[in-house]
Amino acid sequence: MGLTKRLFIKIIPGKTFLDKLSGTTKVRFFLLLILLLIVSWDLRVLLAVSALGIIGMISVKPNWPLVRGLTIFMLLTNLFNLFLIWLTNPNYGADLTGGCTVLLVLSKHYFISAETLFALFVRFMKFMSTFLISLCFIQCITPSEMAAGLYSIKVPYKVCTVVSLAFRYIPDIARDFENIKISMQARGMELDSKKVGFFARLKQNILILMPLIISSFDRIGNIANAMDLRGFGKGKKRTYYSEHEETKEDKIMKVCYLLTAAGIVAIMIGRIVAPPEYKMWKPW
């Protein structure tokens, strides 16, 4: 199954420290960290979270070649975005940090200032830390743990089931896709992307897509009946098999995520009580 190997789905729980945490801990910690990264413009916070992300990445022992490819891709996209920002507004840093120390003048409109470089770097770290934390989260969570974790933050369990069911269905999609592709090739369709042009590829996409969508949606009735027969949706609450009692590690992480939450609240209150002059903290 070529497709599923390229996806980041973990079905079987792993054995590392992060894997062993309960779904509740993983989901809550992750969401709070993402929230912190959205709220914070402080380079110190961003660097600390990135360091945490890197440690986490190493600890979960990921599939390195896949991660490397993705990281390079993200770096390039990110750098391209930064370049675009600079292109549209060479004085990007002035509004965010205040001040404009010109380092290099390129033309009448384009120049490089220390503040802009710093602001761009902060933004770069903001993106990269979000990326690292997400990647780490993806590497250590299984679909049913994710559903359990979402349920623990009061998401209705029917929505949680949508999430875990969707993940359960992805390998089926991969299998159907392979089958449809092979039968299309048997009918003489050229699928080598080097041999066909843009519009031909677009047309092929649609030709494979339609049977895939129709066959998938035809299965709704069967799955829904099977779930109804097992009494799905009858109760008001739900428990999860993957969810275990709080272990010692969970308790340690609970302290961590509560601290993170306190940090977010502190930042927000600080912003309301004493609004900082500029959005970003800068070392000078």
Partner 1 sequence: MKESKWKQFLGVWNTKTIVGVAIGAALFGVLMVFGGIKIFSNTSLTSAMVVVVVVAALFGPVPAALTAGIGNVIADLIGGWGFWFDWSFGNLVLGLFVGLLPLYGAKISEGIFTVKHAIIYAITCIVGNIVAFGLVTPLLTSLFYSQELAITWLQAASAIVSNGVVLIVIGIPFLFLLAKRNASKTNLKKED
- Interface residues with partner 1 (CB under 8 A) are 3, 7-9, 34, 38, 41, 66-67, 70, 73-74, 77, 80-81, 84-85, 88-89, 92, 96, 123, 126-127, 130-135, 138, 158-159, 161-163, 165-167, 169-170, 173-174, 177, 198, 201-202, 205-206, 209-210, 212-213, 216-217, 219-221, 223-224, 227-228, 232-233, 279
CA 87 centroid distance within chain: 28
Structure tokens at 248: 């010692």
Q: What angle do the packed helices 23-39 and 248-273 form, to 10 degrees?
A: 20
Least distance (Å) between residue 282 CB and partner 1: 15
Least distance (Å) between residue 259 CB and partner 1: 22
DSSP sequence for 219-272: THHHHHHHHHHTTTT-SS----TT-----HHHHHHHHHHHHHHHHHHHHHHHHH
| Closest CB to partner 1 among residues 161, 249 | 161
Least distance (Å) between residue 157 CB and partner 1: 10
| Closest CB to partner 1 among residues 131, 240 | 131
242, 142 Cβ separation under 8 angstroms? yes
| Closest CB to partner 1 among residues 204, 249 | 204
| Closest CB to partner 1 among residues 5, 248 | 5
Give the DSSP letter of residue 280. Answer: S
Torsion (CA) 258, 264, 270, 275 in degrees, nearest 10: 180
